[in-house]
Amino acid sequence: MTAATAVDERLAPTSLVRRLLGRPELGAVVGAVAVFVFFSIAAPTFLQASSLSTILYSASTIGIMAVPVAMLMIGGEFDLSAGVMVTTSALVSSMFSYQMTANVWVGVGVSLLVTLAIGFFNGFMLTRTKLPSFIITLGTFLMLTGLNLGFTKLISGTVSTKSIADMEGFPSARALFASKWEIGSVTLQITVLWWLALVAVATWILLRTRAGNWIFAVGGGADAARAVGVPVVKTRIGLYMGVALCAWISGQHILFSFDVVQSGEGVGNEFLYIIAAVIGGCLMTGGYGSAIGSAVGAFIFGMTSNGIVYAQWNPDWFKFFLGAMLLLATLLNAWVRKRAEASK
Amino acid sequence: MTTGKTTTVPQDAAAALVKLTGVSKHYGNIRALQDVSLEVSAGEITCVLGDNGAGKSTLIKIIAGLHRHDAGTFEVEGEETVLANPRAALDHGIATVYQDLAVVPLMPVWRNFFLGSEPTKGRGPLRRLDVEFMRRTTRAELLRMGIDLRDVDQPIGTLSGGERQCVAIARAVYFGAKVLVLDEPTAALGVKQSGVVLKYVAAARDAGLGVVLITHNPHHAYLVGDRFVLLKRGTMAGSHTRDSITLDELTRQMAGGSELDELSHELERVAESGTGVTDATARGAGRTGPADAAGEASRTTAPTRDDTTR
């Protein structure tokens, strides 16, 4: 946040430390530094440039989804269907193009509409029924998991889609969703750019637009927000459609980088997104958090998942680390927030 | 409480800002409000008094546009209206400050101040909050109400209950409210904090607003009120102007006359076995009503209420 222009003279001594303490992503940054230092010592190959690009890539695949999930959590809701929605988006795109023998861009467009419709469905059901989002999106999660498998088997005869690599429009779609550039020994994936762009846009929306103000308000006190005229229903539906939009980006990346899509994928990823958002400082109860925090959370995920490999440990330990990290981050965030609020 | 009652001359304007005549409301077969009339003019405070369950909340919800009335008329500046939703009420210049849901605690003061009506600058994708204006205005408007905030960036949840009420009132005044509806603004506050809030209520009145003050405290009501509407079990138990009623009479009617006499007899008998209870009786009688007074007296040492209760 920019410093107030008309600074009150009583505010002058506010130290930088104190202002940093007030940021939601502080805990995550401290955690990220700790993880970085830890693996730098434990795994000698961790600091190589090629390792860094791998880490960034895996961080970006989670990070692209962690951004809208963090926004949704700031708005006070969950989306358990986010993980399989990515797969759904990829499947729809691939199978539509293949079955209709259309340009892949047609499939990409149809996929966008279908995915946004799923997001709308989540938001609409939530605001209409007033059931907890946990239940609504758990239902969507299960339904999508079933549909992904069922439809793919029905249409392709197997659990994965047919290759669409030789179809019209594939190269240009791949360029947009799955390019990579070799810069020296480093490979830069386009998902990293998508990710950074999304973080920037989300931060802009959250901190500098009316919609952002409404998102914080809906998560922090929906009744108060409604009473002062905030469009609570529209905000919530918009948040779910934001998750859907990013699921579409993510899904298209998977499709165009692997060419075929496994219909059973994506299950469990919704938790990774939530974990990244929570490590990044989002409150489970809503009304607090940041998009940048979710990016730091995703980066921690990338460092841990790859760091364990570089340290030549058994990757079975990864989930344990993730769980411990989640607990530590939440505790740290709670402590930091208390300090920040008490110091004011 | 230092602001003495300034002699407000009830304006002889043709129409009251808000006028309810014979308004009723049913929820299914439950009669929540029956034949209640109320009016408030510019620069005037109308107090609605009643015990818990008297229908105060229903009345406030009708005025705020959350519920529609079933019978009677609701006039805004002389024109009969049915408010569809809270937004419609706001568009008519009726702003409601609720007891507990006036603000979002985790958000900074300046974001809360403009919530729902944020000013923007720029166009298209660059359309953004006018943050500098929002911060500056919040500070200035609060200062005008006499609140000198150190930092408008602090979460509003860190302010005291009284300060939060005042922010909500300042917000309503800034956004051009003509009628301010206050739902029990002093209910959760201590004596000092209540005084501060009442001062801002008076300030809003002096700024030319019509104020509807919902309360169950006749002392607070009498300090600032011009008209008094008493509610009891969903019906109107009395409607008075300031000239036609004294504080004692108001307190008596509010607490339910004979019920109170009986209660004070009962409590006197209790008092024989302990000290300090008679004091509680006296104070309890002046306060909320039988239930509260009994609760107060059952403690042997009456706690001093000050602004530690936020």
Chain-chain contact of A2 with B131 (C-beta, under 8 angstroms):
yes
Average pLDDT, chain B: 77
Average pLDDT, integer, range B36-64:
87
B172 pLDDT band, cuts 50/70/90, is confident
- Is the pLDDT confidence value at B262 over 80? no
Residue in A212, A287, A344 nearest the CB of B154:
A344
A138 band by pLDDT with thresholds 50, 70 and 90: very high
Asked if the Cβ–Cβ distance from B117 to A229 is below 8 Å, we say: yes
CB contacts under 8 A, B 45-84 vs A, are 64
- Confidence grade of residue B300 (pLDDT, cut at 50, 70, 90): very low
Question: Mean pLDDT lowest for which of A152-166, A283-297, B126-140, B250-264?
Answer: B250-264
Q: Is the pLDDT of residue A312 over 80?
A: yes
Selected residue with higher pLDDT from A333 and A284: A284
User: Which tokens sit at A268?
Assistant: 């469990």
B95 phi and psi, to 5 degrees?
-110, 135
All residues of chain A having their beta carbon less than 8 Å from the beta carbon of residue B98 are 224, 227
Mean pLDDT of all residues in A276-297 = 91
> What tokens appear for B287 in the block?
């306060």
pLDDT class for A315, splitting at 50, 70, 90? Answer: confident
CA B175 to CA A91: how far, in whole Å? 51
Per-position DSSP letters for A35-95, written without gaps between them = HHHHHHHH-GGGGSHHHHHHHHHHHHHHHHHHHHHHHHHHTT---TTHHHHHHHHHHHHHH
CB atoms within 10 A of CB A162: 18
Q: Are B53 and B233 in contact (CB under 8 A)?
A: yes
Is the CB of B135 less than 8 angstroms away from the CB of A221? Answer: no
Q: Which residues of B95-121 are buried (b: 16+ CB within 10 A; e: fewer)?
A: bbbbbebbbbebbbbbbbbbbbebeee
Predicted confidence band of residue B273 (pLDDT cuts 50, 70, 90):
low
Query: DSSP letters of A249-267?
Result: HHHHHHHHHHSS-BTTTTT
Give the residue on A whose Cα is nearest the Cα of B121. A209
Grade residue A337 by pLDDT with cuts at 50, 70 and 90: low
- Nearest Cα of chain A lies from the Cα of B39 at a distance, in angstroms, of 23
User: Tokens 């939440």 belong to which residue?
Assistant: A330
pLDDT of residue B187: 79
Q: Do A216 and B107 touch (CB under 8 A)?
A: yes
Least confident of A15-24, A140-149, A202-211, B46-55: A15-24
Question: What is the average pLDDT score of chain A?
Answer: 89
Say if B131 is an interface residue toward chain A (CB within 8 Å).
Answer: yes
Which residue in the set B98, B106, B127 is minimally distant from A288, CB to CB? B106
Q: Which has more pLDDT, A322 or A97?
A: A97
Answer whether B10's CB lies under 8 Å from B226's CB: yes
* pLDDT band with cut points at 50, 70 and 90 for residue B91: confident
With 60 as the cut, is the pLDDT of residue A53 above it?
A: yes
The half-sphere exposure of A213 on its side-chain side, counting CA atoms within 13 A, is 29
Question: Residue B4: is its pLDDT beyond 50?
Answer: no
Sort A93 into a burial class: Cβ within 10 Å, 0-12 / 13-18 / 19+: buried
pLDDT of residue A212: 95
| pTM for the structure as a whole | 0.79
Of B102, B117, B158, nearest to A224 by CB-CB distance is B102
Min CA distance, B245 vs chain A (Å)? 35
Q: How confident is the model at residue A146 (pLDDT cuts 50, 70, 90)?
A: very high
The fraction of chain B above a pLDDT of 90, given in percent, is 8
Residue B240, number of CB atoms within 10 A of its CB? 18
Q: By the CB < 8 Å criterion, does B159 face chain A?
A: no
pLDDT at A24: 78
- Answer whether residue B281 shows pLDDT above 60: no
**Shortest CA distance from A285: residue in chain B:** B106
Q: Does B104 touch chain A (CB under 8 A)?
A: yes
Q: Is A225 close to B116, i.e. CB distance below 8 A?
A: yes
Q: Would an 8 Å CB–CB cutoff place B127 in contact with chain A? A: yes
Predicted confidence (pLDDT) per residue in A65-124, tens digit: 999 999 999 999 999 999 999 999 999 999 999 999 989 999 999 999 999 999 999 999
B131 chain-A contacts, CB cut-off 8 A: 2, 208
Q: How confident is the model at residue A18 (pLDDT cuts 50, 70, 90)?
A: low
The most distant pair of C-alpha atoms in chain B lies apart, rounded to whole Å, by 76
Closest alpha carbon to B108 in B150, B144, B145, B146 = B150
Query: Which chain B residues are closer than 8 Å to A282 by Cβ?
Result: none
Q: Does B132 touch chain A (CB under 8 A)?
A: yes
| Nearest chain B alpha carbon to A24 | B106
DSSP SS3 for B96: strand
Work out the minimum CA distance from A191 to partner chain B, whole angstroms.
Answer: 23
B116 touches chain A (CB under 8 A): yes
pLDDT in tens, B185-243: 887 777 887 888 888 888 888 888 899 999 888 888 888 889 898 888 888 888 888 88
Closest residue in chain A to residue B103, using alpha carbons only: A224
Average pLDDT over residues B65-91: 85
